Structure 1
Amino acid sequence: MKRLGAGALMVLLLAGCQSDPQLRSKRIGPGHFRLTVDRCHMVDPQLLEHDLRELASSACPKGTGPLEALESLPSRQGGLLGECLRSGALRAEVRCR
């Protein structure tokens, strides 16, 4: 019975910590995308911009223009025990070539 309780607690804790990073891409027009990156463990703020560029490359295989309308957002990452102390999120728009 103790093992079952410990196993249930571990599953609950793991479910509380979301994957890192969360990447979202939404098409808002022909060749125009809104990209959002959210990291739980952000060591360097430049990492978010790097993630946005990688996401833009996957959304626009023929190339992208510059990131536009960069906007810092509150992170939605988190867990039951507050393990995401260095979280951050960034949103931008990009147009494909």
Structure 2
Amino acid sequence: MSRNVLEKVLHQLTVDRSAKQRFREDADAYLRRFALGEAERAMLTQFDVLGLQQAGVNPMLTMGFWQELSPDRDMRAYMKKLRPVGSAEALHSAALKR
């Protein structure tokens, strides 16, 4: 995997309007322009921000990508993607005490 190529793609997608539009219209066609493997393309088309960060991509780029192009731009959904909560875990650790 090439972190540098992933970061270049994410940067373009967050700052270039025409790149955003091309990605929205046909993400696979847009991504074929870059030297990306199948796993990398899948992370981008599936908005796998956890996978991108685990690959070493700058967290600010993954957040910008999410906010600009994700079908669900809600930051709570972004945070859930970064830290999947198991069935035995609570999403928030703070609780009111009586």
- TM-score bin, normalised by smaller chain: under 0.3
Q: Which TM-score applies when normalising by structure 2?
A: 0.26
Higher helix share: 2
Higher RCO (CA-CA < 8 Å; seq separation 6+): 1
Larger radius of gyration: 1
Q: Which TM-score applies when normalising by structure 1?
A: 0.26
